[in-house]
Chain A
């Protein structure tokens, strides 16, 4: 997927919470996808501002206090961003190159492709900077079957965008309540609770 060229002066986890960097980084992502695919987009900057505000408020609302939850929250926050981009729709495709391949996700759903690329790139930058972790490239990211399911499901419930971003990032998605952040401790307790249940008759 097309990388990001914009490098902020402060850590990405902080600069992404500034409108001026967020918009610049998103525009840079659009330009890179345009160069790689030949697709052309129109961007509604007011909608993009609305994306930023809505995402930042959702981000702050569930921000964990435990240090051990900081890493899993990076992926969740990226998923929240994808959900907001999909619901606000700041991009619209204006043209595609002749003879494009519809089985390539970049042409199957051009706007969705940019949103996913942007969120995965921001996620990867934060993981690399703050946790020295590398983001995996998984087969689901390039499989048309995954993208078809992604597009159809988020049209019905945009919260599923959070789960799909986990899938594209090689993490285990929470398909039941993807909009709720479950920190490590909560996840462990839930796991023990469900495994401790007696078998049904």
Chain B
């Protein structure tokens, strides 16, 4: 059964709270499953029932919906500076949320989650400050997302945000900014999802190049422009 979409009317912090519950639930299941094998029969059975209950609850977990063509067009225009910040902000936030959830879900470990509230604050800071072409603006947004820690460990799980997970978070943000930068003249139904998947795969293929730019503290605009032209 597919996840239910996050209702638009829910305030951002509440949606983040629900997102945290979902992520923590997924993580608990992952951690508990191997442990059940080590327990005595009756306890194992009880724990399995608990995990099963959690899975049933999981069917009602929330996830960001894929933005429609109009919303994507507005998000792309907002990033490129072709739409005033207040008008494009919500569309960009919706696209960013969907993209980051997808990029993090593709990652093998579910210990990271994104905060829509923090993303909104980062967008509010990045859009008015943006200069140059779309790639320069995407690089600026990436920097704001990273400095605001839009992606971090799931609260309450005890996982630390170590350099490795910070890097994974940064690569996920890079892939999503790249997705927003790509040309989309002939996107068919489901095409946005496809382009996003390609961007995530492309970033995985050129991780060394991305890390070299990030490590050098240089602007990733040139690399983003280069990669976007390939997609």
Q: Which residues of A contact B (CB under 8 A)?
A: 9, 17-20, 23, 45-50, 52-53, 56
Per DSSP, chain B at the interface is: helix
Interface size of B as a range: 10 to 19
Residues of B within 8 A of A20 (CB): 194-195, 198, 231
A144 → chain B, closest Cβ, in Å? 34
Closest 3 pairs between A and B when the two form their complex, measured CB to CB: A50-B205, A49-B201, A49-B205
Closest to B184 in A: A20
Complex Cα spacing A56 to B205, Å: 13
CB pair B204–A19 under 8 Å, yes or no, is no
Q: Name 15 extra pairs, CB < 8 A, besides A18-B230, A49-B201.
A: A9-B186, A17-B230, A19-B202, A19-B230, A20-B195, A20-B198, A20-B231, A45-B201, A46-B201, A46-B205, A48-B201, A49-B202, A49-B205, A53-B206, A56-B230
CB-based nearest B residue for A9: B186
Report how far A179 CA is from B131 CA in the complex, Å: 43
CA distance A22 to B216 in the complex (A): 31
- B181 CB to closest chain A CB (Å) equals 13
Interface centre among A20, A48, A53 (most CB of B within 10 A): A20
- Minimum CB distance partner of B199 in chain A: A19
Interface residues of B in 187-205 (CB under 8 A from A): 194-195, 197-198, 201-202, 204-205
The reply to whether A18 and B205 form a contact with Cβ atoms under 8 Å apart is no
CB-nearest residue of chain B to A24: B194
Set of chain B residues within 8 Å of A53, measured between Cβ atoms: 202, 205-206, 230
Q: Are A23 and B186 in contact (CB under 8 A)?
A: no
Task: Assess the B204–A46 pair: CB atoms within 8 A.
Answer: yes
A164 to B186 Cα, complex, angstroms: 37
- Would you give 11 A-B contacts (Cβ < 8 Å), ordered by A? A18-B230, A18-B231, A19-B202, A19-B230, A20-B195, A45-B197, A45-B201, A49-B198, A53-B202, A53-B205, A56-B230
